[in-house]
């Protein structure tokens, strides 16, 4: 394949991605460790074409399966409908119980058709500070 053909193919793929709104979906948190009930500032990147009426982002236990959908009302933790988030930022609330959690974006609240679109992990500790491991001591 010539250099011109490679460039033309790449340009066609990029134009196709822009026109179909198939950009990368991501979610991030402002910290990796939180105290119970602390504010979690999240940032999401998702195009309007990728947002359905029931697309949601919220806190789920890290042990929750990554396969299939999850109904946020069944989990009972903090969440937002993505269509209601302005500027790509929102605030969730850390769970009361210490442990490992994820912030995940799901395509739908329907557990039979919803799929996970993006995820990032965090930990809730009593102090809100990372736990010190023996190997971390000076």
Q: Tell me if 16 sits within 8 A of 47, measured CB to CB.
A: no
Is residue 8 predicted with pLDDT exceeding 80?
no
The pLDDT tens digits of the residues spanning 73-117 come to 888 899 999 999 999 999 999 999 999 999 999 998 887 788 999
Which domains are assigned to the chain?
24-130 (2.60.40.1930)
pLDDT-derived band at 23 (thresholds 50, 70, 90) equals confident
The mean of the pLDDT values for the chain is: 82
Q: Residues with Cβ < 8 Å from 124, sequence gap 6 or more?
A: 33, 34, 35, 36, 94, 95, 97, 98, 99, 101
- Is the pLDDT assigned to residue 134 strictly greater than 70? no
Name the token pair of 82: 């993505």
CA distances for 67 relative to 30, 124, 136, angstroms: 26, 24, 34
């Amino acid at each position: 394949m010539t250099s011109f053909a490679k460039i033309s193919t790449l340009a066609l793929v990029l134009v196709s991605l822009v026109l179909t709104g198939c950009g990368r979906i991501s979610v991030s948190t402002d910290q990796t460790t939180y105290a119970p009930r602390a504010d979690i500032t999240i940032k999401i990147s998702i195009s309007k074409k990728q947002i359905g009426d029931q697309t949601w982002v919220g806190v789920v236990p890290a042990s929750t399966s990554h396969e299939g959908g999850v109904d946020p009302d069944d989990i009972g933790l903090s969440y937002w409908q993505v269509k209601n988030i302005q500027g790509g930022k929102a605030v969730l609330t850390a769970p009361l119980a210490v442990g490992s959690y994820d912030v995940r974006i799901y395509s739908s609240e329907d557990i039979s058709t919803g799929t996970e679109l993006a995820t990032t992990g965090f930990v809730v500790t009593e102090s809100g500070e990372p736990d010190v491991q023996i190997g971390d001591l000076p």
